[in-house]
């Protein structure tokens, strides 16, 4: 096997010494978060560990096929753990309410691939060069020589696939294809994953997509595309927050667009922004950091307090500055 980070040995030593675990992930879990959490949970269970898998939010509908045994749960009070392992979460605040339920722990391990990770764990394995946290969990299992069962392969392939845009994003590396190939060899059900994740949309999401195409706006000579999702839009379409995953890609794909942005009303006076860049010269992680957020150079986000129009003006202005300084 090729060389691997020595921190993996440290993590495996802690895991071997521990009996009770909690595997946690970020609010509004995406495919990488869900797949990493569940894949690691299953692997730990197979090693005879006592494990719970917690997230503040419910599992999005399109990932429920990965959770037939109901492992993905909301947190509950009164539990103590030898070890808490976080996957795919850049900061402690992104755990939401889960954070207060994991105080009684001996060790806290942070496994992530976000450039903006704040190193909040006792042990931090943060590798920003990896395109997904799922690939990190895959490498952990390989070094440990733990079996990768079919359910684990489904989880990790979903994680790797979704965070690389089905192996399309520029972050995808040769090793990512090798990981995907081995996961298929180990039983990942490509037809099932493709059908559930990419080819099955709720009618409410389609209504939301109709809203996107009718309401998106362009700025800066069509180099910026953006749209708003207000609470009224969710009420009118019957959509849920989970239905918004991937909507930004529809405006990002417009040919002249360099940066795409979604403004989502979380509550009155609080807006969530999502940013995507198609240029190596425009780092949206740096833009998001101006508003207390973060992520990756090509994909980042933040939560911004203030009046919607004020937030919109500040964010669009910051994007314009980034575009103008990198011509």
- What distance in Å separates the CA atoms of residue 296 and residue 90, rounded to the nearest whole number? 10
Task: Provide CATH code, domain 204-324.
Answer: 3.10.310.30
25-62 per-position pLDDT tens digit: 999 999 999 999 999 999 999 999 999 999 999 999 99
Residues in CB range of 183: below 8 A, 6 or more apart = 138, 148, 153, 156, 157, 160
b/e code 185-215 from CB counts within 10 Å (16+ = b): ebebbeeebeebbeeeebeebeebbebbeee
3-state secondary structure the chain: CCCCCCHHHHHHHHHHHCCEEEEECCCCCCHHHHHHHHHHHHHHHHCCCEEEEECCCCCCHHHHHHCCCCCEECCCCCCCEEEEEEECCCCHHHHHHHHHHCCCEEEEEEEECCCCCCCCCCEEEECCCCCCHHHHHHHHHHHHCCCCCHHHHHHHHHHHHHHCCCCCCCCCCHHHHHHHHHHHHCCCCHHHHHHHHHCCCCHHHHHHHHHHHHHCEEECCCCEEEEEECHHHHHHHCCCHHHHCCCHHHHHCCCCCCEEEEEEEEECCEEEEEEEECCCCCCHHHHHHCCCCEECCCEEEEEEECCHHHHHHHHHHHHHHHHHCCC
> Predicted confidence band at 201 (pLDDT cuts at 50, 70, 90)?
confident
- For residues 270 and 289, what is the distance between their CA atoms, to the nearest angstrom? 17
- Gap between the Cα atoms of 110 and 83, Å rounded: 11
pLDDT the model gives residue 1: 43
- CATH for 7-198 is 3.90.1640.10
pTM above 0.85, yes or no: yes
Per-residue pLDDT at 326: 74
pLDDT single digits (tens) 277-325:
999 899 999 999 999 998 888 899 999 999 999 999 999 999 999 999 8
Is residue 271 a contact partner of residue 263, using CB atoms and an 8 Å limit?
yes
Alpha-carbon span 20 to 48, nearest angstrom:
10
Residue 4 has what pLDDT? 74
Residue 46: name the closest of 78, 75, 69, 73 by CA. 69
Which pLDDT value is given to residue 316? 98
Q: What phi and psi, each to the nearest 5 degrees, are found at residue 93?
A: -60, -25
pLDDT, tens digit, 9 for 90 and up, residues 215-271: 999 999 999 999 999 999 999 999 988 889 889 999 999 999 999 999 999 999 999
Summarised one tens digit per residue, pLDDT across range 157-195 is 999 999 998 898 888 899 999 999 999 999 999 999 999
The angle, 0 to 180 degrees and rounded to 10, between the axes of the packed helices 150-163 and 31-46 is 160
Whether 17 has a pLDDT exceeding 90, the answer reads yes
Query: Model confidence at 3, in pLDDT bands (50, 70, 90)?
Result: low
Beta bridge pairs of residue 221? none
pLDDT for the residue 245: 87
Q: Is the pLDDT of residue 82 over 90?
A: yes
pLDDT of residue 171: 85
Q: What is the pLDDT of residue 277?
A: 95
pLDDT of 74 > 70? The answer is yes
Phi–psi pair at 263, nearest 5 degrees: -105, 120
- pLDDT averaged over every residue in the chain: 95
Q: Where are the domains of the chain?
A: 7-198, 204-324
């Amino acid at each position: 096997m090729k060389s691997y980070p020595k921190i993996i040995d440290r993590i495996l030593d802690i895991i071997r010494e521990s009996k009770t675990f909690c595997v946690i992930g970020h609010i509004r879990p995406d495919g990488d978060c869900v797949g990493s959490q569940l894949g690691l949970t299953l692997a730990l269970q197979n090693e005879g560990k006592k494990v719970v898998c917690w997230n503040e939010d419910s599992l999005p509908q399109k990932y429920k096929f990965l959770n037939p045994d109901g492992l993905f749960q909301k947190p509950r009070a009164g539990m103590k753990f030898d070890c808490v392992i976080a996957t795919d979460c850049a900061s402690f605040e992104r755990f939401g309410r889960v954070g207060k339920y994991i105080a009684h722990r001996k060790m806290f391990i942070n496994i992530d691939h976000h450039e903006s990770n704040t190193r909040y764990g006792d042990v931090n394995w943060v590798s920003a060069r990896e395109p997904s946290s799922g690939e990190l969990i895959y490498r952990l299992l390989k070094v440990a020589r733990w079996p990768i069962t079919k359910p684990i392969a489904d989880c990790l392939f979903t994680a790797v696939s979704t965070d690389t845009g089905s192996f399309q994003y520029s972050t995808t590396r040769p090793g990512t294809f090798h990981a995907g190939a081995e996961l298929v060899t180990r039983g990942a059900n490509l037809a099932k994953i493709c059908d559930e994740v990419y080819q099955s949309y709720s009618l409410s999401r389609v209504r939301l997509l109709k809203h996107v195409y009718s309401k998106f706006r362009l700025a800066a000579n069509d180099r910026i595309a953006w749209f708003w999702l207000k609470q009224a839009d969710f009420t009118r379409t019957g959509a849920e927050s989970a239905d918004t995953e991937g909507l930004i890609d529809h405006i990002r794909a417009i040919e002249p667009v360099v940066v795409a942005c979604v403004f989502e009303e979380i509550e009155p006076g609080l807006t969530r922004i999502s940013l995507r860049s198609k240029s190596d010269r425009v780092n949206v992680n740096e833009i998001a950091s101006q508003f207390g957020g973060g992520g990756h150079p090509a994909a980042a986000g933040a939560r911004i307090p203030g009046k919607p129009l004020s937030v919109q003006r500040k964010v669009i202005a910051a994007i314009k500055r980034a575009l103008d300084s990198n011509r």
